[in-house]
Structure 1
Amino acid sequence: MDFDMLGLTPRLVNKLEELGITEPTPIQTQAIPHAMNGRDVLGLAQTGTGKTAAFGLPLIHALSKDGGKPKPKHVAGLILAPTRELAKQIADSLEAFTKGSHLRVGLVVGGVGINRQIEFLRRGTHLLIATPGRLIDLLDRNAVSLSETRYLVLDEADQMLDLGFIHALRQIAPLLPKERQTLLFSATMPKQMQELSNSYLTNPVRVEVARSGQTAEKITQSVHFVAQPAKQSLLVELLAKHKDEMSLVFLRTKHGAEKLMKSLRAAGFAAGSIHGNKSQGQRDRAIKAFKEGEITVLVATDVAARGIDIQGVAYVYNYDLPNVPENYVHRIGRTARAGASGQAIAFCSSSEMGELRAIQKVIGNELDVASGRIWEVETAPNRGGRGGKRGGAGGGGKRRFGAGGGSNQGGKPRGQKRGAPKSGGQKQGAPKGGNRRRSGGSKRAAS
């Protein structure tokens, strides 16, 4: 099947051909016809499978056929995204699709001056891509009206829930007409997503091209059991093996990301960082440098997990495991994009065992153990940078860490009975209660 068979306008099909896009992806094949028929759509698909075009092309098709232009300050179609990076990525794609047409595409996000955004909106906008916070700022200033917005898209809505944007949605949604078309897209489907769907979609068509939480088949996933103080030296060792290839390294906190980036630079790596303490200009420059190969290691918090669409990212390192297991899916989705292959490598310390089990439950799979033994992580003292036996040298080969218990491979520690090394009175496997202590403190969005 090709795009003209989906019923898109000839101009739009020709534009896609100019961009080298000739064959729709599965999510596009399934979602576009329903969207063009005016149905509300709940779309579930892995990252990197073309969700932007799945909702963007039907909107461009409909607005192109209308032929009119919105009133001053009014918006015909609104696309909400949780992060600046994702919003800009969507805007770049839609601007490419609409180039040469009469459609006006606008982007409003925080971190940049608001006055230019106000000036742009004064003329009216066909498609507006926005982060919820900045949109509310503009609404409060009466710089934009949603009273005639006929199309609403919620992209990566699960992260909107995680970042607390549900309150912003409750402010924005009543300002739109009740008679509208709503499209909701995401890679995961936590319980709250169904509630969100029930609140904002009317009799939606559910389009699911992969099980919720499923990761791309071409991503090789593994875990190193390593003491927290030993993570940095292990990362340096692994990065040195592929110094010229592109790597993303995810941490939980802004401070930790910046500190690690500086340490990697001192170790001779071309590294940059992106996190919430960076201005929008700094974040844009870091992504541009990464895309153009000026830097090969980008250290990031989850603010970047949904907004980096760069071909050629070969490795994703989960230096800190995420508090929210669904974020693991989005982090590793930055590699193996558009059919390529990639590697996702997780570092797990003793305080992150609960996070690891939660991740494996979400993805429905167990990670291969690349190095280290659980009991070494749980009992190893801090030995100044490597902890235990190199923080993870224990045995090679592919092994599994079971979702419901400890590692049962690589033999047992000397002088201990099988299966029962002690660590603070705990048995070898899962710390009691799934180890509810979260490393990095309370749950927070590292934006």
Structure 2
Amino acid sequence: MEDDEYVPYIPIKLRNAQKQSEAQQLPPIQKTETLFKISQNLPKKTEREIAVEEEKLILEAQLKQKSLISDMEIAKGIEYTEPMKTTWTPPRSVLSQNKTLFDKVRKKFHILVEGKDIPPPITSFDFMKLPKPLINHLKHDKNIKNPSPIQIQGLPCVLSGRDMIGIAFTGSGKTLVFTLPIVLFALESEVKLPLVSGEGPVGIILSPSRELARQTYDVICGMTKSLSNNGFPNLRVLLCMGGINMSEQREVIKRGPHIVVATPGRLKDMLDKKLFSLDICKYFCMDEADRMIDMGFEEDVRTLMSYFKYQRQTLLFSATMPKKIQLFAQSALVQPVVVNVGRAGAASLDVIQEVEYVKQEAKMVYLLECLQKTPPPVIIFCDNKNDVDDIQEYLLLKGIDAVSIHGSKGKLGFNIFNLKNVLDQQEREYAIREYKELRADVLVATDIASKGLDFNQIQHVINFDMPKEIEDYVHRIGRTGRSGKTGIATTFINRNSSEQILLDLKHLLREAKQKIPPVLEAIVDPNEQFRGQDDGSTECTFCSGLGHRITNCPKLEQKRRAELAEKRSKEQSSFKNDY
């Protein structure tokens, strides 16, 4: 054994003596209180603080879902940190202005913005560097002479290449904010390097319903036609949705579309079949984004994201976009700008809201009295398709020109050539066309017609049933009072309406400074004692309802039940397969 490894032996007596002397030099052990006594001395949280913490935990649990980005980007660790760059810049005359002036403009038009390096608001189309034919098209064909508040701030953001969440009242002009830039980007791409067969699109606009997709398609076609009539290159626009004969658009697909307007299912199907690709697509917009996610298209949208090869500019628009959807959607956005005109989920201030208590058996008769309030056109909303058909038949028997649409019109038929689907979709489009061209006085519909459809001449909306979600109510009444005009919304309520939705309606009316009927005033609000307290919000963070919090949100409860039912169904299916 080497000397440096030798350890001398110390007797036990001597070691004990050393330990005793070291212990005497240590400071005395402090006597501590028990955790129970410490907790008793802590300041007690109020009932409201406990509730707010609970709401925060619930919201965080809802946000722990898969991000709205593609699996390919997650697998490769691709993360974009800088916004897209475009060749568009605001004019020098605008950039040279003081930033305090920008704040004054936003304050004047009630525009709230969040984000970094926000582009300046521009109050004139002439200063947005738009082609002259487009300005003339807006002024003469569309009667849009000046930009609306959402357009004042939204158009500079989108034209600058920024990802954006746009929230504004129904009928405030959101469609123009995402359709005009996509036309300009496609035009620039065609001028620089024309598309050839197998290329395109440059941009995609996704809509939750066929009617909304058709309407957006028509808006874009109007712009492209005005450009081509004035010597600009012809831009090809493709409409992808169920119920139409795609062979009619085969030439557009063959030559390469510049712009695609689609519903999620049909777009996914066409990409799977490789009819076109998203290799050069740099513009992606979701119209009525929150409704699309709520309607179950979330997985389809995430799958669509995987078809993009490079970074894209992502835009999300809606009139009702709760904080939960905003936070969840921001996973797909890069340094997003949030442009908000009014509270998300608030009703349009241009709509006079009337709520009337009508017994279930008296609704049909009272409907005729309500139709006397204003001249046509009028739209009647129902919760189910059977009521839609019954009301249309009743009105026709009374000599009123009425058309109808609901989800079952346009469903797939059981035949080889899928003729029934095409014919039913033609019936839906015929109803919309007859109504828009004022050949029908009344449109009876389910919520399929409540989201995004633009009927500028509607003076009266009748809710035959109070919808189950306050967001649907906001979208329904938003079909009137558009583009600065005033409209009326009449809603029938009775014992069949849930107290929770009526409480939401009560606070929505109060927010819009509308008359609240006694039947709603009588409903007791369990959260009344907490209203006005500074807890950061006065609404449900899941659905934007004003009459409840996220802890008792009916929409969240419905979602949980659906998830539980789906889980049970999978377990039963797995059990059957095992045995």
- The reply to whether TM is greater than 0.5 is yes
1:58-77 matches, within 5 Å, as 58-66=181-189, 67=191, 68-73=193-198, 74-77=200-203
Structure 2 vs 1, CA of residues 355 and 59 (structure 1 numbering), >3 Å: closer, same or farther? same
Task: Give the equivalent residue in structure 1 for 2:158.
Answer: 35
Paired residue for 1:45, among 168, 175, 178?
A: 168
Paired residue for 1:314, among 417, 436, 459?
A: 459
Deviations 1:160-202 (A, max 9, x none): 0221111210111111134111111111112442244223211
Task: Give the equivalent residue in structure 1 for 2:448.
Answer: 303
Give the aligned residue type for 2:172: T
Tell me, yes or no, if the aligned pair for 1:218 and 1:341 is still in contact at 8 Å.
yes
Tell me, yes or no, if the aligned pair for 2:288 and 2:452 is still in contact at 8 Å.
no
Structure 2 vs 1, CA of residues 150 and 261 (structure 1 numbering), >3 Å: closer, same or farther? same
Paired residue for 1:368, among 499, 507, 515?
A: 515
Q: Distance in 1 between matches of 2:554 and 2:169?
A: 28
2:478 aligned with 1:333: yes
Paired residue for 1:245, among 369, 376, 381?
A: 376
Query: How far off its partner does 1:205 sit?
Result: 0.7
2:286 aligned with 1:157: no
Query: How far off its partner does 1:360 sit?
Result: 4.2
SS in 2 for 1:49: coil
SS in 1 for 2:161: coil
2:220 aligned with 1:94: yes
Tell me, yes or no, if the aligned pair for 2:208 and 2:292 is still in contact at 8 Å.
yes
Task: Give the equivalent residue in structure 2 for 1:419.
Answer: none
The percent of aligned pairs where both chains have the same amino acid is: 37
Tell me, yes or no, if the aligned pair for 1:316 and 1:331 is still in contact at 8 Å.
yes
Task: Give the equivalent residue in structure 2 for 1:83.
Answer: 209
Q: Distance in 2 between matches of 1:129 and 1:161?
A: 18
Q: Distance in 2 between matches of 1:301 and 1:434?
A: 27
Q: Distance in 2 between matches of 1:262 and 1:111?
A: 25
Task: Give the equivalent residue in structure 1 for 2:177.
Answer: 54
Q: Distance in 2 between matches of 1:181 and 1:357?
A: 39
Task: Give the equivalent residue in structure 2 for 1:148.
Answer: 280
Query: How far off its partner does 1:336 sit?
Result: 0.8
- Report the structure number with the largest CA radius of gyration: 2
Task: Give the equivalent residue in structure 2 for 1:265.
Answer: 396
Tell me, yes or no, if the aligned pair for 2:506 and 2:516 is still in contact at 8 Å.
no
Paired residue for 1:283, among 428, 434, 454?
A: 428
SS in 2 for 1:257: helix
Tell me, yes or no, if the aligned pair for 2:207 and 2:263 is still in contact at 8 Å.
yes
2:298 aligned with 1:166: yes
Task: Give the equivalent residue in structure 1 for 2:525.
Answer: 404
TM-score by length of 1: 0.80
Higher strand share: 1
Task: Give the equivalent residue in structure 2 for 1:6.
Answer: 128
Query: How far off its partner does 1:65 sit?
Result: 2.4
Q: Distance in 2 between matches of 1:356 and 1:246?
A: 27
Unaligned 5+ segments in structure 2 are 1-122, 410-423, 527-547, 563-579
Task: Give the equivalent residue in structure 1 for 2:501.
Answer: 355
Give the aligned residue type for 2:206: L
SS in 2 for 1:368: coil
Query: How far off its partner does 1:133 sit?
Result: 1.1
Task: Give the equivalent residue in structure 1 for 2:114.
Answer: none
SS in 2 for 1:122: helix
Tell me, yes or no, if the aligned pair for 2:358 and 2:492 is still in contact at 8 Å.
yes
SS in 2 for 1:262: helix
Query: How far off its partner does 1:367 sit?
Result: 5.7
Structure 2 vs 1, CA of residues 40 and 435 (structure 1 numbering), >3 Å: closer, same or farther? closer
Paired residue for 2:317, among 181, 185, 193?
A: 185
Q: Distance in 2 between matches of 1:165 and 1:71?
A: 31
Higher helix share: 2
Deviations 1:12-51 (A, max 9, x none): 3344344243211111110111111111111111111111
Query: How far off its partner does 1:71 sit?
Result: 4.2
1:373-384 matches, within 5 Å, as 374=519
Structure 2 vs 1, CA of residues 220 and 17 (structure 1 numbering), >3 Å: closer, same or farther? closer
TM-score by length of 2: 0.63
Query: How far off its partner does 1:159 sit?
Result: 1.3
Structure 2 vs 1, CA of residues 58 and 277 (structure 1 numbering), >3 Å: closer, same or farther? same
Tell me, yes or no, if the aligned pair for 1:367 and 1:400 is still in contact at 8 Å.
no
Query: How far off its partner does 1:356 sit?
Result: 2.1
Query: How far off its partner does 1:110 sit?
Result: 0.8
Query: How far off its partner does 1:329 sit?
Result: 1.0
Tell me, yes or no, if the aligned pair for 2:279 and 2:310 is still in contact at 8 Å.
no
Query: How far off its partner does 1:70 sit?
Result: 3.2
Tell me, yes or no, if the aligned pair for 1:326 and 1:362 is still in contact at 8 Å.
no
Structure 2 vs 1, CA of residues 151 and 362 (structure 1 numbering), >3 Å: closer, same or farther? farther
Give the aligned residue type for 2:182: L
Q: Distance in 2 between matches of 1:195 and 1:122?
A: 39
Q: Distance in 2 between matches of 1:71 and 1:152?
A: 21
SS in 2 for 1:350: coil
Structure 2 vs 1, CA of residues 57 and 436 (structure 1 numbering), >3 Å: closer, same or farther? closer
SS in 1 for 2:352: strand
Tell me, yes or no, if the aligned pair for 2:357 and 2:494 is still in contact at 8 Å.
yes
Task: Give the equivalent residue in structure 2 for 1:211.
Answer: 343
Tell me, yes or no, if the aligned pair for 1:44 and 1:186 is still in contact at 8 Å.
yes
Tell me, yes or no, if the aligned pair for 1:313 and 1:335 is still in contact at 8 Å.
yes
Tell me, yes or no, if the aligned pair for 2:158 and 2:164 is still in contact at 8 Å.
yes
Task: Give the equivalent residue in structure 2 for 1:382.
Answer: none
Structure 2 vs 1, CA of residues 158 and 205 (structure 1 numbering), >3 Å: closer, same or farther? same
Query: How far off its partner does 1:309 sit?
Result: 1.2
Query: How far off its partner does 1:351 sit?
Result: 2.2
Task: Give the equivalent residue in structure 1 for 2:438.
Answer: 293
Q: Distance in 1 between matches of 2:305 and 2:268?
A: 11
Tell me, yes or no, if the aligned pair for 1:78 and 1:149 is still in contact at 8 Å.
yes
Structure 2 vs 1, CA of residues 321 and 71 (structure 1 numbering), >3 Å: closer, same or farther? farther
Q: Distance in 2 between matches of 1:192 and 1:294?
A: 42
Structure 2 vs 1, CA of residues 401 and 119 (structure 1 numbering), >3 Å: closer, same or farther? farther
Deviations 1:255-308 (A, max 9, x none): 221112111222232211111122221111111221222221110011111243
What value does the CA root-mean-square deviation take over the aligned residues?
2.7
SS in 1 for 2:170: coil
Tell me, yes or no, if the aligned pair for 1:249 and 1:317 is still in contact at 8 Å.
yes
Q: Distance in 2 between matches of 1:163 and 1:246?
A: 29
